[in-house]
Amino acid sequence: MAEVLSRRPSALYYLYALVDRAPRRWRPPATGVGGGSIEARHIHDLILIVSRVVNPVFRTVRTQAAHDDVLASLMDAEAVAPMPFGTAVVDLQGWVDARLPRLPFADRGFDAVISNSLLHHLPEPATFWSEVRRLLSPGGVVHVMDLFRPGSVDEARAIVEAAAGDEDPILKDDFFNSLLAAFTPDEVRGQLTAAGLGHLECVVVSERHVLVTGRR
């Protein structure tokens, strides 16, 4: 099979998925693709399920099974956004803290754009999608997850109680307000079309999360 990750930078991590919250009694396989142990890494507001790449990675029946086993271990996680086989992240601690509207990166300089729970905070979502289109190289992967607005205030309150009923009231209020500030799936699809990204898939993946995924 074709080689996927043949070089070993000092801080190369194999990326399995983004999650909103890891399972409370999570028992991942002992080792993952590339030979490293599997862990949940918190980077800014993201939770990445990764393993350190200590050996070159080839796509074989065995490595594909290892990839699938990690995803299977996340069945009880909150809002899983799985990554395709072969997705890697270099230097998790070296990520740049930058702000829209114009990020300090070259056009078409990235093979993937990943975002979690950002879209509903933006007063001008078109700015975000414009940067996604600008930054992605041809064939680049998009994985954008966010809340979506429920059909009613009562439905929003029910979601908060089901997902965060035992949390501090301030956190619950923030969660409730975020749900009301979020876009509906149809509104997100409209944003994608307006940005020239209408070919991307926009799917509901939980009772409160929507995932935009595909390639440029």
* Domain assignment present for 69: yes
* Domain assignment present for 173: no
Residue range 35-53: mean pLDDT, rounded? 85
Q: What are phi and psi of 199, to 5 degrees?
A: -80, -15
118-to-44, 72, 99 alpha-carbon distances in Å = 12, 26, 12
47: which 2 tokens?
């939770």
Residue range 141-153: mean pLDDT, rounded? 95
Question: Alpha-carbon distance 116 to 148, whole Å?
Answer: 12
Residue range 53-60: mean pLDDT, rounded? 86
pLDDT band at 5 (very low <50, low <70, confident <90, very high): very low
Higher-confidence residue: 97 or 150?
150
DSSP string of the chain?
A: --EEE----TTEEEEEEEESB--TT----SS-TTEEEEEEEEETTEEEEEEEE-S-EE--HHHHHHHHHHHHTTTTSBS-EEPPTT-EEE-GGG-----SSS-SS-TT-EEEEEEES-GGG-S-HHHHHHHHHHHEEEEEEEEEEEEB--SSHHHHHHHHHHHHTTS-HHHHHHHHHHHHHSBPHHHHHHHHHHTT-TTSEEEE-SSSEEEEEEE-
| pLDDT over threshold 80, residue 178 | yes
Q: So what's the pLDDT on residue 41?
A: 85
Looking at the chain, the whole-number percentage of residues with pLDDT higher than 70 is: 90
| pLDDT over threshold 80, residue 93 | no
pLDDT band at 90 (very low <50, low <70, confident <90, very high): low
Evaluate whether 174 touches 104 at the Cβ level (below 8 Å): no
Residues 81 and 115 both lie in one domain: no
Q: So what's the pLDDT on residue 97?
A: 65
Residues 26 and 41 both lie in one domain: yes
Residues 105 and 89 both lie in one domain: no
- Which residues are CB-neighbours of 212 under 8 A, at least 6 positions away? 142, 143, 144, 145, 188, 192, 200, 201, 202
Residues 127 and 43 both lie in one domain: no
Residues 89 and 114 both lie in one domain: no
Residue range 207-215: mean pLDDT, rounded? 94
Residues 208 and 133 both lie in one domain: yes
Residues 19 and 103 both lie in one domain: no
* Domain assignment present for 155: no
Residues 87 and 103 both lie in one domain: no
Total number of domains in the chain:
2
Q: So what's the pLDDT on residue 160?
A: 94
CATH number for 126: 3.40.50.150
Residues 15 and 60 both lie in one domain: yes
Evaluate whether 111 touches 35 at the Cβ level (below 8 Å): no
* Domain assignment present for 144: yes
108-to-12, 78, 86, 113, 140 alpha-carbon distances in Å = 21, 31, 20, 11, 9
Residues 64 and 9 both lie in one domain: yes
Residues 47 and 104 both lie in one domain: no
| pLDDT over threshold 50, residue 52 | yes
Q: Is the pTM higher than 0.75?
A: no
| pLDDT over threshold 50, residue 73 | yes
Question: Alpha-carbon distance 131 to 147, whole Å?
Answer: 20
| 52, 70, 93 - which closes a domain | 93
Residue range 43-67: mean pLDDT, rounded? 86
Query: Which of 15-19, 88-92, 166-170, 211-215 tops mean pLDDT?
Result: 211-215
Domain hosting 193: range is: 98-148+183-215
22-35 tens-digit pLDDT: 777 888 998 999 88
Where is average pLDDT lowest: 24-38, 90-104, 199-213? Answer: 90-104
